[in-house]
Amino acid sequence: MKKENIQKNSVENLDFAKKGSIFAFTRNKMKHERMDHITPFLKYLGADKGRSGLTLQTYRADLEHFHAYMQSVDSTLDWSGVDRDVVRGWVAQMMEEQHKPTYVRRRLSALRSFYRYLMQQGEVSRNPGAEVKGPKLGRPLPAFLREDELNRLFDTPGLFEDNPEAQRDRLILLTFYTTGVRLAELVGLDVADVSVSGRQVRVDGKRNKQRLIPFGEELAAQLEHYLTAVRPNLAGADEAALFVGDDGGRISRSYVEQMVHRRLSAVTTLTKKSPHVLRHSFATAMLNHGADIESVRRLLGHASLAATAIYTHVSLADLKEAYLNAHPRA
């Protein structure tokens, strides 16, 4: 009797082991089948879409990352069972892990492409990736020159040659920095737009909106000298433009862009060296020295405060210092 029970238990244990093995095999097979959809998708991208090997590797890594997350949510979940909540959870997890928005958006884009393929193949009826928005990309912070760099640009002896062209170029740089005008606005200036005695310049901005920009003693003196002693040596007869090129006509955008890049290279290691960097530098300097953001908005010709607010980051260090120095409980 005892021997029979032992044999019976052995048979039952064997059956249980077999069932467990079958279950494990079935589960692994299902997992493999779910994963196996990725391989034909990558073949499709390579053969039909001409994607590079490196791109295919990135797609595989992105999709396998999602698959691992999908398994962590529900080990029985297949591609057709994924809904937008699962995708949202995946995106949220990546953001919690401090991944950059560009990284998360790339992975989400890969998932959307994969589901478009599955829909074409009739494997799924919806694209849950398309139902989820990626994280917003942070607006890049504006590049600007430090004040010591700008002081070197305008005050270093011998940095500008002693000829009419170099004196004109220095004035163009000073105009950008002391008025904050855009490239198109500067190129479009006429002599009639400038009032040296009134110390203001009339600018035709975006959407033909005019604005008056005041300027100080330094620019007034430089403009006076340019108009009386420099421009007559450069401008053609009856030329209305304030800044003229070597041909006597209105100076070109391309010349100004190239000149600004070349001149700024002497004082900064910034990658971007453009007229707009000088506009950024103008706004930054104004805010750092106490100008209110509404005044800066009007000087720049921005339609809303939102466009101007991006410059406020650069003065945060100064605001902290002012707070620590001024607040009685700091």
Q: How many CB atoms lie within 10 A of CB 238?
A: 5
Alpha carbon of residue 54 to chain centroid: 24
For the question of residue 182 being annotated catalytic, the response is yes
| Catalytic pick among 182, 199, 253, 261 | 182
| Catalytic pick among 107, 168, 273, 279 | 279
For the question of residue 112 being annotated catalytic, the response is no
Contact between residue 37 and residue 113 where contact means Cβ atoms under 8 Å apart: no
Residue 191 DSSP class: G
| Catalytic pick among 206, 298, 313, 320 | 206
Q: Encoding tokens for residue 156?
A: 């270093």
Residue 276 has phi, psi (to 5 degrees) of -70, -30
Report how far residue 35's alpha carbon sits from residue 258's, in angstroms, rounded to the nearest whole number.
Answer: 53
For the question of residue 289 being annotated catalytic, the response is no
List strands edge to edge, sheet with 194-195.
Answer: 194-195, 200-204, 210-214
For the question of residue 276 being annotated catalytic, the response is yes
Contact between residue 131 and residue 85 where contact means Cβ atoms under 8 Å apart: no
Q: Is 201 in a helix, a strand, or coil?
A: strand
Q: How many CB atoms lie within 10 A of CB 1?
A: 5
Q: What type of residue is 47?
A: A
Report how far residue 72's alpha carbon sits from residue 67's, in angstroms, rounded to the nearest whole number.
Answer: 9
Q: How many CB atoms lie within 10 A of CB 126?
A: 14
For the question of residue 225 being annotated catalytic, the response is no
Report how far residue 90's alpha carbon sits from residue 93's, in angstroms, rounded to the nearest whole number.
Answer: 5
| Catalytic pick among 115, 117, 177, 311 | 311
Annotated catalytic sites, by residue? 182, 206, 276, 279, 302, 311
